[in-house]
């Protein structure tokens, strides 16, 4: 088969993609692009919108002949669109068609198109014909002149690649690459699709992709310059530096940049009193001064770790996003506290504090109440407002207090009244928080409001002849403000990102402060695109449709500076005005970092050698150590070069210990299978010729981080080192401890070489000498085997040889005087095993305590004895927590497999000691969970804790009650107890208890049923008054269940979803639906306009039968076989739930006012999860 003409395939390479895997890694294939923020799901429209926004592409009208293809090659059609975006000089688009002829005569697997240009860049298309595991066509866009690109070259591109159907263009296969995170830059020359289409379809002549032995490949490319975040230098490009993100601190970084770029605030921080000895990690003031100085004079992005440490935060809190407004208030409060009784006291108030007057005026009586309040920031409504002025109008609008919301006047009782707010004065720096987040009661979730909302560059709060000002306000002050900065939130309520758009000098130049990166921004990006709302996108060729995606990047906080105060607020900060120690601190920190860096760079060259000797054993055993030989953390350590010969190390030991090199013998320590560390074997002459690093490499073992050695030294009569004895194969080195049961004293006696085939009788005289006993004293020997999790110490048979007793080098032998049975009874611990067990149990262990209810709270640690009882442990915990009654502390052990609390608490007096609480599967845990109870644990163990929601029949009020009945109680006893805790509509009201699960009534409990059947693991327990109508239920009456529901369409079927609070209803034999609806509306107190949107239906087994007002309900429920219909229910469908998303659900409104549900309604917005962070 002949090759195609050279002129048509001049860049075809006879190279399989398998030969160039580095150029074509599988990771380059783009099958399903992901959104830039992994916490936010993006559609294709979102990708397109984001790319257009980042590259400032204008909308274009698609060509008339879109989708029609000519049989000849097309030249590239290029459009260059100028942009005001300072990060890109030009954003360009082009279209290119590549005709591949004589396909049946191609011998190569990789084909490259001719080069086409886009702006100053050169591109080409590359395809692979089936050399992958999918037997598919692979298509890529590649940078053609990749090898000669200048340093720092980086492009982001939105492109589509298509295989054209030459019979019917509607069946062309087109794939879009819209993930702008995947850029073309150094090391990344191509992006594309590994499995574009099956080769079987491509080569099928009936499909239309291969026509006249020709394939048409179409590319549309839009590309613009991008910032390579690795190479980008913010200081060089903008003159400013960013702040490093610790994990989820973008909200803090944005606010800190905003505050820093208010020069007067910066000056106040610099003037706060600090000293040279203040540490930034413990002083908020010093940390903030240090951070501001580095932002002003540093060259690289600045870490905020010192600042967050000064707040008392740990690493976990740095990964939890907080609300900007809450953080701002907490920071300012803390700074004001530090400013008291200093030269800068009250300065923050001068910057941010304003005042407004809250006025209440009664309508029917002569009473007026005025109260002045201060504010540091204002929250403005976004929903229902077009701009900031609309929000201020709403803020000062008159509110009517009437009906259930009447004003309680002191001497007049409840009165109809008017309430409104007027401003007494505005601050020099005005902070406006936009309420972009609110609770959606219908969907039971927080939701973000992305509505269109304008904010002006110049804000005039004297507008309308000062309509926002109180009569007492100083009208001589001109409240004209200039926009200084915008804090932006991108994403939704479940996750997102904060950054700031700031114009530091209030000039026309805007900058984007996005954590570490600072870039120049144009006016459109800085303002118009942050208004929110929808935008219309038309992408020619790539996506032939018009989209109106919602902008999820919008303003969350606005900062304005009053123009009359601009000279003061935007003052200059000179370095000479900053304390000298503040200026010197960064230099010292840099020197320290360089020193640490040098040490770290050299760290891999060094290691630690720990050397233990007889002196260490003698010093530690019997004092702070009873088990094993030594604590290696308390012995002499040497920092030595790994490459150093061991002989050099021996000389260093000789200098420090005074033991000559020739009188030293070193032993390795080894970890045995039972977990103990013992000297295992002496170093040979060959080993001593090696380097330290070579000695650390033990065959079949993980390389240790440090080298542990035992230095054997033999002392003469004058206590001076003497030559060491020769060790033969039969010799065993043993270490001896001697125990005195009378004084309960254990001490180190020394070491001996014994012959393996000898017996203990051979060394009795020597041992008595070492212990100071008489030469013929009868002694008893024990072998110390292991200590964890329990002590193992066995008696040595005096008749067995040392080898028969399985004694080896490094073993520990304890001995004591032999005692008669009568003498043994005189001592608490008459022998070595009992004494070692006692000491083992006496050892204090460090236990970590965590709150069971709030496991994210900071834990604390206590040193406790293994033998501490339950009462002793809770007494120590109560003392630490400041709880007066230790009996109210309950403990729960940890499951070591799941690293979570066990499902049941530790049984009170069910364990003997602490070690039993911690022991799990022969392992000892380090964590116990605690909770603080309302009653002593001894009482509570005989009780059950049940949470009952009580509903009054009169007004549907709901309250949460926590009851603790005795475990043997009945449901009747429980309801009797509940009567004493709730307000009944009348004294003789009867109660019933039911289980509500998934917004349905699951079960009604009988009065004589045991409370043991009440499970709290699912659903809720609800008690309610039985209405009088139910008590007189006749044969022609029926009590039915009534549930709220929503019919949701899925791909396969209609799905019923229930919500709200279910209830019972009595219907009568001849009662029509219209009468029942009147009673339901009255019961639920639903407004007419809302109730008219509801539909009524009989729902059974997922089937919905809609009802007419004239239908009689009784016939639909009378076949249930009892007076209460269980299988069917009357469904209330809220049509407005689907159509307007603003349906009124009175039950949810009631629930929102109950204690358990108060967190649904917030006094200010919480876009992210809120935590009570201490600052």
- Asked if 1023 and 948 touch (Cβ cutoff 8 Å), the reply is yes
Q: Cα 495 to the chain's mean position, in Å? A: 10
Collect contacts of 766-774 with beta carbons under 8 A, ≥24 apart: 767/736, 767/738, 767/815, 770/736, 770/738, 771/738, 771/815, 773/817
* Dist CA 481 CA 1104 (whole Å): 59
Q: Two tokens at 352? A: 């941010």
- Asked if 482 and 504 touch (Cβ cutoff 8 Å), the reply is no
Cα–Cα distances in Å, from 264 out to 289, 313, 346, 429, 568? 13, 28, 13, 10, 7
> Residue 886 phi/psi, 5° resolution?
-60, -25
Q: Which residues have CB under 8 Å from 935's CB, separation 6+?
A: 888, 943, 964
User: Which residue carries 């702006």 as its tokens?
Assistant: 119
* Dist CA 121 CA 102 (whole Å): 30
* Dist CA 33 CA 30 (whole Å): 6
Catalytic residues: 250, 497
Q: In 3-state terms, what secondary structure has residue 132?
A: coil
- Asked if 139 and 125 touch (Cβ cutoff 8 Å), the reply is yes
- Helix ranges (H only) for 298-414 are 305-311, 315-318, 324-339, 347-352, 388-396
Q: In 3-state terms, what secondary structure has residue 721?
A: strand
CB atoms within 10 A of CB 413: 10
Let me know if 596 is exposed, middle or buried by CB neighbors in 10 A (0-12, 13-18, 19+): exposed
- Asked if 76 and 508 touch (Cβ cutoff 8 Å), the reply is no
* Dist CA 185 CA 226 (whole Å): 9
User: Which residue carries 């004084």 as its tokens?
Assistant: 743
Q: Which residues have CB under 8 Å from 1015's CB, separation 6+?
A: none
* Dist CA 886 CA 630 (whole Å): 38
What is the helix (H) or strand (E) element at residue 560, kind and residue range? strand 553-562
Q: Two tokens at 1078? A: 């009147």
Beta strands in 964-1086 (DSSP E): 991-997, 1000-1005, 1020-1025, 1037-1049, 1054-1068
The radius of gyration of the chain's CA atoms, rounded to the nearest angstrom, is 41
Cα–Cα distances in Å, from 479 out to 304, 425, 486? 35, 9, 19
Instruction: Provide the CB-side half-sphere exposure for 937 (13 A, CA).
Output: 21
């Amino acid at each position: 088969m002949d090759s195609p003409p050279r002129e048509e395939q001049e860049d075809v390479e006879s190279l399989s993609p398998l030969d160039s895997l580095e150029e074509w890694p599988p990771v380059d294939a783009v099958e399903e692009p992901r959104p830039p923020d992994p916490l936010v799901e993006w559609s294709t429209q979102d990708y397109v919108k984001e790319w257009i926004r980042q590259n400032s592409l204008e909308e274009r009208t698609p060509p008339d002949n879109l989708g029609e293809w000519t049989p000849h090659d097309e030249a590239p059609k290029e459009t260059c669109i100028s942009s005001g975006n300072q990060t890109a000089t030009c954003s360009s688009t082009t279209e290119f068609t590549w005709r591949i002829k004589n396909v049946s005569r191609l011998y190569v697997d990789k084909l490259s198109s001719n080069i086409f240009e886009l702006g100053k860049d050169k591109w080409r298309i590359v395809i692979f014909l089936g050399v992958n595991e999918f037997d598919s066509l692979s298509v890529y866009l590649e940078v053609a002149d990749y090898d000669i690109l200048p340093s720092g070259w980086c492009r982001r591109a939105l492109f589509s690649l298509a295989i054209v159907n030459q019979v019917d263009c509607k069946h062309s296969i087109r794939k879009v690459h819209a993930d702008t995170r995947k850029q073309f830059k150094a090391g990344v020359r191509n992006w594309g699709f590994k499995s574009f289409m099956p080769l079987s379809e491509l080569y099928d002549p009936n499909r239309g992709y291969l026509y006249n032995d020709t394939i048409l490949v179409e590319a549309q490319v839009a590309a613009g310059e991008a910032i390579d975040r690795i190479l980008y230098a913010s200081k060089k490009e903008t003159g400013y530096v960013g702040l490093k993100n610790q994990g989820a601190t973008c909200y803090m970084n944005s606010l800190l940049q905003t505050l820093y770029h208010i020069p007067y605030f910066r000056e106040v921080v610099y003037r706060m009193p600090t000293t040279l000895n203040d540490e930034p990690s413990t002083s908020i003031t010093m940390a903030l001064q240090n951070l501001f100085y580095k932002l002003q004079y540093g060259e690289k992005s600045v870490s905020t770790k010192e600042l967050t440490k000064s707040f008392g935060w740990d690493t976990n809190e740095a990964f939890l996003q907080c609300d900007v407004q809450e953080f701002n208030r907490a920071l300012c409060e803390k700074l004001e506290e530090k400013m008291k009784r200093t030269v800068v006291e009250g300065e923050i108030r001068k910057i941010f504090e304003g005042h407004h007057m809250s006025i209440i005026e009664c309508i029917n009586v002569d009473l007026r109440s005025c109260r002045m309040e201060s504010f540091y920031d204002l929250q403005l409504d976004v929903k229902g407002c077009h701009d900031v002025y609309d929000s201020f109008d709403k803020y000062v609008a008159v509110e009517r207090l009437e009906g259930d919301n009447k004003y309680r006047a002191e001497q007049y009782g409840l009165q109809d009244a008017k309430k409104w707010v007027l401003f007494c004065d505005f601050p020099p720096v005005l902070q406006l928080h936009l309420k972009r987040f609110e609770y959606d009661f219908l969907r039971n979730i927080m939701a973000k409001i992305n509505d269109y909302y304008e904010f002006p560059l110049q804000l005039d709060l004297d507008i309308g002849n000062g309509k926002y000002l109180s009569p007492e306000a100083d009208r001589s002050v001109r409240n004209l403000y200039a926009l200084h900065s915008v804090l932006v939130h991108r994403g939704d309520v479940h996750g997102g990102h904060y950054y700031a758009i700031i114009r530091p000098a209030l000039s026309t130049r805007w900058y984007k402060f996005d954590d570490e990166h600072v870039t120049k921004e144009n006016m459109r990006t800085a303002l118009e695109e942050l208004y929110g709302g929808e935008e219309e996108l038309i992408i020619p060729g790539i996506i032939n449709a018009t989209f109106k995606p919602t902008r999820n990047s919008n303003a969350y906080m606005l900062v304005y500076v009053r123009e009359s105060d601009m000279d003061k607020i935007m003052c200059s900060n000179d370095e000479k005005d900053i304390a000298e120690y503040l200026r010197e601190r960064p230099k010292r920190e840099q020197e320290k970092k360089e020193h640490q860096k040098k040490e770290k760079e050299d760290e891999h060259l060094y290691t630690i050698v720990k050397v233990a000797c007889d002196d260490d054993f003698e010093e530690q055993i019997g004092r702070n150590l009873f088990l094993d030989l030594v604590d290696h953390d308390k012995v002499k350590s040497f920092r030595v070069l790994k490459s150093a010969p061991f002989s050099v190390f021996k000389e260093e030991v000789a200098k420090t210990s005074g033991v000559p090199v020739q009188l030293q013998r070193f032993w390795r320590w080894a970890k045995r299978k039972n977990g103990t560390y013992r000297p295992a074997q002496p170093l040979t002459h060959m080993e001593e010729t090696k380097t330290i690093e070579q000695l650390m490499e033990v065959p079949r073992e993980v390389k240790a981080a440090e080298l542990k050695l035992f230095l054997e030294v033999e002392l003469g009569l004058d206590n001076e080192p003497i030559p060491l004895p020769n060790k033969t194969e039969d010799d065993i080195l043993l270490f001896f401890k001697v125990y005195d049961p009378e004084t309960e004293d254990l001490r180190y006696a020394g070491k001996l070489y014994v012959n393996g085939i000898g017996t203990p009788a051979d060394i009795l005289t020597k041992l008595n000498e070492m212990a100071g006993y008489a030469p013929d004293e009868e002694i008893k020997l024990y072998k110390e085997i292991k200590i964890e999790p329990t002590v193992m110490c066995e008696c040595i048979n005096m008749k067995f040889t040392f080898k028969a007793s399985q004694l080896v080098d490094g073993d520990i032998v304890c001995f004591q005087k032999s005692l008669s049975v009568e003498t043994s009874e005189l001592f608490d611990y008459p022998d070595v095993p009992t004494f070692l067990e006692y000491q083992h149990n006496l050892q204090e262990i460090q236990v970590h305590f965590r709150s069971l209810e709030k496991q994210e709270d900071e834990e604390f640690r206590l040193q406790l004895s293994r033998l501490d009882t339950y009462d002793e442990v809770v007494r120590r915990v109560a003392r630490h927590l400041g709880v007066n009654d230790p009996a109210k502390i309950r403990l729960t052990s940890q499951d070591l497999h799941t690293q979570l609390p066990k499902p049941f608490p530790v049984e009170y007096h069910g364990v003997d000691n602490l070690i039993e609480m911690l022991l799990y599967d022969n392992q000892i845990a380090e964590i116990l969970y605690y909770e603080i109870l309302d009653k002593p644990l001894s009482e509570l163990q005989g009780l059950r804790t049940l949470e009952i929601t009580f509903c009054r029949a009169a007004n549907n009020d709901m309250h949460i009650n926590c009851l603790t009945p005795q475990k043997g109680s009945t449901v009747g006893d429980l309801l009797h107890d509940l009567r004493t805790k709730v307000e009944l509509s009348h004294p003789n009201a009867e109660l019933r208890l039911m289980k509500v699960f998934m917004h349905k009534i699951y079960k009604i409990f009988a009065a004589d049923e045991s409370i043991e059947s009440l499970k709290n693991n699912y659903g809720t327990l609800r008690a309610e008054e039985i209405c009088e109508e139910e008590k007189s239920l006749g044969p022609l009456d029926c009590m039915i269940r009534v549930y709220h529901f929503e019919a949701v369409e899925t791909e396969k079927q209609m799905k019923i979803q229930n919500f709200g609070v279910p209830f019972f209803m009595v219907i009568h034999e001849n009662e029509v639906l219209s009468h029942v609806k009147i009673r339901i509306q009255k019961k639920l107190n639903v407004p007419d306009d809302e109730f008219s949107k509801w539909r009524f239906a009989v729902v059974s087994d997922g089937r919905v039968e809609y009802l007419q007002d004239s239908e009689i309900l009784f016939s639909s429920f009378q076949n249930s076989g009892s007076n209460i219909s269980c299988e069917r229910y009357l469904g209330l469908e809220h049509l407005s739930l689907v159509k307007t998303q603003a349906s009124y659900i009175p039950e949810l409104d009631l629930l929102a006012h109950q204690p358990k549900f108060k967190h649904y309604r917030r006094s200010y917005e919480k876009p992210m999860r809120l935590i009570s962070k201490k600052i």
